[in-house]
Structure 1
Amino acid sequence: MNLQALRYFLMVSTTGSFLATARHFEVPASSVSRFVASLEKELGQQLFYRSTRAVRLTEQGQRYYTQVREAVELLDSAADQLANRGTGIRGLVKINAPEALGRLHIAGLVNELQGQYPDLSVELTLTDAFIDPVQEGTDVTIRVGRLVDSGLIGKVVSAHQYRIAASPEYLAGRGIPQTPADLMQHNCLLYKGQQGSQRWYFRRSSKENFESLDVSGSLRSNNAEALVAAALAGRGIVLFPSWLFAPTSFKDGKLVSLLTDWDISASAEELYIQILSPENRLRSHKVREVSAFLVKAIGSPPYWDNL
């Protein structure tokens, strides 16, 4: 029995897609289909119902999946640990992260990762689209969002922290807001993405619910860094995650944090930075090592909140 055929079978069972499986293993979809068909012929059983819309397990396929999954994963895990014993980690790991967070922080951490593990290859994908790591064949996903039962396993790195900021020049001309309500008299520079214009939320403590404030201003953009640049130039006030600001902006006095005694957010719900993987990928030694490296490198609280 061909072990690779079993791997293809398990991945098709998980993703419900020959194409996603082919993408994960970086082989033609025809190869996956041929191996699975050969497995079905060898077993004398139909493992999948196939249609133009979906691929799903037959009753026999479901039983077979349950029986062989753990065996194949144990074999792969044993081989992985043997190959990496005493030599660090090697091979390919696929990482996905939000675009701005990935560009400003995760890309640098990947450079450090490969400096520590020179035999490791990384495929880093930066996108704000909410991907399915199983469908995309992603090993490690850095996600910013609510805590939901996604079927993924990992670690919450920290709560998502926000800052409200403006330049000293702007504040000298317009005054320093003392309460969120004061922002209604200020020029607030707003991010506008696929969900519409950014809303700003405030509360006194974690025991209270966030309340929104309909601020406005002379500039909106779908690029957060352009808005931060405008704030640095004295154009107005911005609200963004703490990781989006250059640490030197506050250290050198180019920006001033405002309303620091309030909880501030761009969401009515608590958001968190998480590092997640599909359960079957965490059986891989290299995936566990990469996840652990990123968790430690980011820290809790994250290093950008300590600068």
Structure 2
Amino acid sequence: MHLKAHRYFAMVASTGSFSATARHFQVPASSVSRFIAALEVDVGQQLLYRNTRGVTLTDAGERYYLQIRTVLELLDAANEEIAGNAGSIRGVVRINAPAAFGRLHLGRLVIELQSAYPALTTELILDDRYIDPVMDGADIVLRIGQLEDSGLIGRQICEQRYVLCASPAYLQRHGEPDTPQALRGHGCLIHKGNGGAERWFFRHPAEGQVNAVDVTGTLRSNNSEVLLQAALAGKGIGFFPTWLLPAGSIGKGQLQLLLPAWQGAMNAAPSQMYLISPENRLRSHKVRAVWDFLLAGIGAPPYWDRLS
């Protein structure tokens, strides 16, 4: 079987397009179709569904793609090494991140990445699911939460910090809470995910004990950006990760920080932010270059904490 057929198939699998694959390899679309048809004959399986709306993988095609993708990446890394082209960053790198974080932060970094590495093709997929990078074909995943022992390479970026805040207009009407327990008498903006309404956890550095507070309010949502807009509009007290806040929103008086002496979180154990990647992906120079670029762009501590 021709290696070129595997490369064409892998690109069609990732883009869902014969024409995009043809443009990438600078060949006619008919050549891409002919090579993949020959590959299907060789393996004895239909790998792609073709219709007027596009191209999708069959079940056999999905399994085959996951297997050959790793082989092609190892081959590319070996070619880079033997040819001394480690500094030539080209090819496709796939990044996965939570939707809100990706919109607010990774979009800008990916645009800067394109300027730094113009020969690189970047796929940024924003998805709030906890995906399996190996099964979903992601090179780099930004994950917020607890990192399980999954055999992946992980790099902690930071601990996710939360701030309790409300608009000056809300506080003029309802007053300012002086303890976490006092929040029970306020209208709170509550994030409600698949596990139900989230509790708010607070710890005072002088005490060390974690206090869980079951807050109530007239607005609940599974979207933190909606809750932030409500806080800015004076509709209640919000509890947000610092990366969600608009730069300078607290310093400019749009929001006022509450209970600054207390450390807060949405879980009893603070959540972390990580970059994770399958070990074999980081052998690739292009993936390692993007990994390092993202870490440098976010910084330590992360730039959103410095701005806030």
1:124-178 deviation digits (Å, cap 9, x = unpaired): 1101011111001110100001132121103100111111110111112211111
**Equivalent-residue separation in structure 1 for 2:84 and 2:93 (angstroms):** 14
**Equivalent-residue separation in structure 2 for 1:206 and 1:95 (angstroms):** 40
> Cα distance, 1:22 vs. partner?
8.8
Contact 2:74 2:284 in 1 (8 A): no
* Residue 21 (structure 2) aligns with: none
* Residue 145 (structure 1) aligns with: 145
Contact 2:190 2:198 in 1 (8 A): yes
Residue 155 in structure 1 maps to residue 155 in structure 2: yes
**Equivalent-residue separation in structure 2 for 1:111 and 1:178 (angstroms):** 43
Matches for 1:62-73 after TM superposition, within 5 Å? none
Q: Which moved more, 1:99-108 or 1:81-90?
A: 81-90
* Residue 41 (structure 1) aligns with: none
Contact 2:221 2:227 in 1 (8 A): yes
**Equivalent-residue separation in structure 2 for 1:130 and 1:108 (angstroms):** 23
> Cα distance, 1:212 vs. partner?
1.5
1:254-274 deviation digits (Å, cap 9, x = unpaired): 001111111101112221110
User: 1:171 corresponds to which letter in structure 2?
Assistant: L
User: 1:183 corresponds to which letter in structure 2?
Assistant: L
Contact 2:160 2:273 in 1 (8 A): yes
* Residue 262 (structure 2) aligns with: 262
* Residue 111 (structure 2) aligns with: 111
Contact 1:84 1:90 in 2 (8 A): no
Query: What percentage of aligned pairs have identical amino acids?
Result: 46
Contact 2:231 2:237 in 1 (8 A): yes
**Equivalent-residue separation in structure 1 for 2:143 and 2:79 (angstroms):** 30
* Residue 48 (structure 1) aligns with: none
Residue 89 in structure 1 maps to residue 86 in structure 2: no
> Cα distance, 1:223 vs. partner?
1.9
> Cα distance, 1:198 vs. partner?
1.9
> Cα distance, 1:25 vs. partner?
9.5
Matches for 1:189-204 after TM superposition, within 5 Å? 189-204=189-204
> Cα distance, 1:251 vs. partner?
2.1
* Residue 288 (structure 1) aligns with: 288
* Residue 219 (structure 2) aligns with: 219
Which consecutive residues of structure 2, in runs of 5 or more, have no partner in the other structure?
19-32, 46-58
* Residue 102 (structure 1) aligns with: 102
Matches for 1:224-239 after TM superposition, within 5 Å? 224-239=224-239
**Equivalent-residue separation in structure 1 for 2:85 and 2:43 (angstroms):** 32
* Residue 46 (structure 1) aligns with: none
SS in 1 for 2:248: helix
* Residue 125 (structure 2) aligns with: 125
User: 2:79 corresponds to which letter in structure 1?
Assistant: A
Query: What is the TM-score normalised by the length of structure 1?
Result: 0.77
**Equivalent-residue separation in structure 1 for 2:165 and 2:260 (angstroms):** 10
SS in 1 for 2:249: helix
* Residue 183 (structure 2) aligns with: 183
Aligned residues: 274
Query: What is the TM-score normalised by the length of structure 2?
Result: 0.77
* Residue 253 (structure 2) aligns with: 253
SS in 2 for 1:248: coil
1:33-57 deviation digits (Å, cap 9, x = unpaired): 766679xxxxxxxxxxxx99xx8xx
Contact 1:98 1:127 in 2 (8 A): yes
> In structure 2, do the counterparts of structure 1 residues 6 and 165 end up closer, same or farther at CA, with 3 Å as the change threshold?
same
**Equivalent-residue separation in structure 2 for 1:167 and 1:247 (angstroms):** 15
SS in 1 for 2:236: coil
> In structure 2, do the counterparts of structure 1 residues 171 and 130 end up closer, same or farther at CA, with 3 Å as the change threshold?
same
SS in 1 for 2:250: helix
* Residue 14 (structure 1) aligns with: none
Which consecutive residues of structure 1, in runs of 5 or more, have no partner in the other structure?
8-19, 39-50, 56-64
> Cα distance, 1:81 vs. partner?
4.2
